Chain A
């Protein structure tokens, strides 16, 4: 199938750019690679017939959050390549924490039945009409509660960023 090749292309792109986020020397390059990762994942959503999720993913992550990231990194002027060697105890802690996370992930996937029950290319749940029906009928309360959570976070950020009134 044609979609299979697209799947492999997108997966390789996502993994490569995710690795490059960690390995690039310049912070700006890391941010741009992260954006590329988001695009590859949006492509996966399209393959799963979840167009709405794909487009919202691009609008929110690539279009808003990553632009703000880029903005901040540009203003901070982190361009100078200063690699300060971290002390040994930090390295040890990082390795232990990361290794534990990896063990947890492997444990999850070992116990999980990965075999796909339905054909992902034919499922209709990702189309905007069905998604809207599910969100506003079956999960109305959690949906509205999470929007209130976002609003609270926004108000909090504005309050924290505001200068003291004289």
Chain B
């Protein structure tokens, strides 16, 4: 029991550190990618290839002046960014980061919590993810912030539906809600994306909308809403909002890699005949390669597509994504019945 708790604590802290580190460096990668797409260099002053840029940004955010509007609801104003950060970090608990490690003949899974409803847990976290933005936007007592918050919540509620409907097709194929089972069924090169390409595309579009990323970044659309829900925020509270967006991006890339790209599985993994520990390590790096690629897709789309209009966004969500997802479920059901 003691070693169990110790092991889980260490694992959870490691995952927390890795998420924060990845989020920190995705800000740099995002700016480098933006530079690449716009044919310029991107940040390169702080350290070699601008490697210390995230540190410089972080220090800058910490030392900026704290500002709180005096009509704001004090408690909720502080609760908003904290809640956003907390909820962004919660999801990583259910993701299997690798196969089991074997130390002294005992198996240690690289997953904090193997709950048998893993997918639903992730949806629960996604569905409460909107609270941080709504509370922050309302508590600022600013019209632009409120408009941003309302946009964010209606957008997230609309796309959540299509997202969960897309996953149902995957669950029907796997017959399990546990993320571990879903990953194990995609052993080798047997990835879900080959069987469920439509579900993957719907999920990807919805993930952009859920993370408030371009082309769906209407909640913080600066040409209409000044800064959106974080207009009144400054210093590290603003930093938390911006940072949580990158954590969300990392986690949704991880969820997509787990559900559709086989998680830690890679082709020809049975031919290697390595020890379980080596396999777990390789699996972990394979998963990270997939996450990095999907993260790059997020940035690629952001710097390629223009922003949607709000009515277009709603029409796409309700009249294209949800019917497509339902059609996908029906077709999957028919195919499973015939087989």
Contact = CB atoms under 8 A, between A and B. Distances in A.
Interface of A: 26, 28, 32, 35, 51-52, 55-56, 58-59, 62-64, 67-68, 70-71, 74-75, 127-129
Contacts of B123: 55, 59, 63
B319 to A, nearest CB: 14
Contacts of B135: 32
A116 B115 CA distance: 26
A63 B117 contact: no
A74 B149 contact: yes
B116 interface: yes
B120 A67 contact: no
A64 B150 contact: no
Contacts of A67: 127, 130-131, 134, 153, 157
B117 A62 contact: no
A127 B134 CA distance: 33
Contact of B124 (A35, A58, A129): A58
Nearest to B146: A74
The SS class assigned to the A binding surface is helix
Nearest 4 pairs between A and B by C-beta?
A63-B127, A58-B124, A55-B120, A55-B124
B117 A52 contact: yes
B128 interface: yes
B127 A58 contact: yes
A129 B176 CA distance: 9
Given A28-B138, A71-B154, A55 B117 contact: yes
Nearest to B115: A51
A70 B135 CA distance: 9
Contact of A52 (B120, B126, B149): B120
B116 A51 contact: yes
A75 B153 CA distance: 13
14 contacts: A28-B73, A32-B135, A52-B120, A55-B120, A58-B124, A59-B124, A62-B127, A63-B127, A63-B128, A70-B131, A70-B134, A70-B153, A74-B146, A127-B116
Contacts of B128: 58, 62-63
Given A59-B123, A63-B124, A67-B153, A128 B116 contact: yes
Interface string B148-179: 01100110010010000000000000000100
Given A51-B115, A128-B177, A75 B150 contact: yes
Contacts of A68: 157
B9 to A, nearest CB: 16
